Amino acid sequence: MSELSAETTNPPARTRPAITLDLVVLDTDDPPRLASFYNALLGWQTESEEEDWITITGGPGARLAFQLAIGHRPPTWPDNDVPQQVHLDLQVEDLEEATAYVESIGARRASGAQEGFIVFLDPSGHPFCLCN
């Protein structure tokens, strides 16, 4: 049995190709409802809509998509029975004003508020934080 050379087991590092973030995709059992929520939350607009996929945008390089996931189980954060998987941190100037607004468009406050941020759940149960 021959030994593998260091070159075989550790190939030379390659130059990183151009890789950029295209969009963040959230699973949901109701893409139109979640797209409408984030359009209202961020002041964005729908870019494209299919039966099981909606993409919204806030300008060049800023996009979110919502993918139909039959049987979607929302995260149970802060309990870890169903992990949170992903969350968004949204910077705000006035935490009280932003809280009132997100609740008015359908967000629910989650437990776990800490100094400088409040955790909410979007209409499909994905956590996001308002931070100041």
Task: For each of the domains in the chain, give its residue range(s) and CATH number, in order of start.
Answer: 6-131 (3.10.180.10)
The band of 10, judged by pLDDT with boundaries at 50, 70 and 90, is: low
Query: Measured between alpha carbons, how far is 120 from 99 in angstroms, rounded to an integer?
Result: 9
pLDDT at 65: 92
Tokens of 105: 């468009």
pLDDT at 112: 64
Average pLDDT over every residue of 78-103: 85
Tokens of 19: 């890789």
Position with higher pLDDT, 68 vs 131: 68
Query: Measured between alpha carbons, how far is 61 from 82 in angstroms, rounded to an integer?
Result: 30
pLDDT at 43: 95
Query: Measured between alpha carbons, how far is 37 from 106 in angstroms, rounded to an integer?
Result: 7
**What's the burial of 31, exposed, middle or buried (CB within 10 Å: 0-12/13-18/19+)?**
buried
The band of 131, judged by pLDDT with boundaries at 50, 70 and 90, is: confident
Contact in structure between 118 and 95 (CB atoms under 8 Å) = yes
The band of 68, judged by pLDDT with boundaries at 50, 70 and 90, is: very high
DSSP letter string, 11-72: PPPPPPP------EEEEES-HHHHHHHHHHHHT-EEEEEETTEEEEEEETTEEEEEEE-TT-
Considering the entire predicted model, what is its pTM? 0.71
Average pLDDT over every residue of 108-131: 85
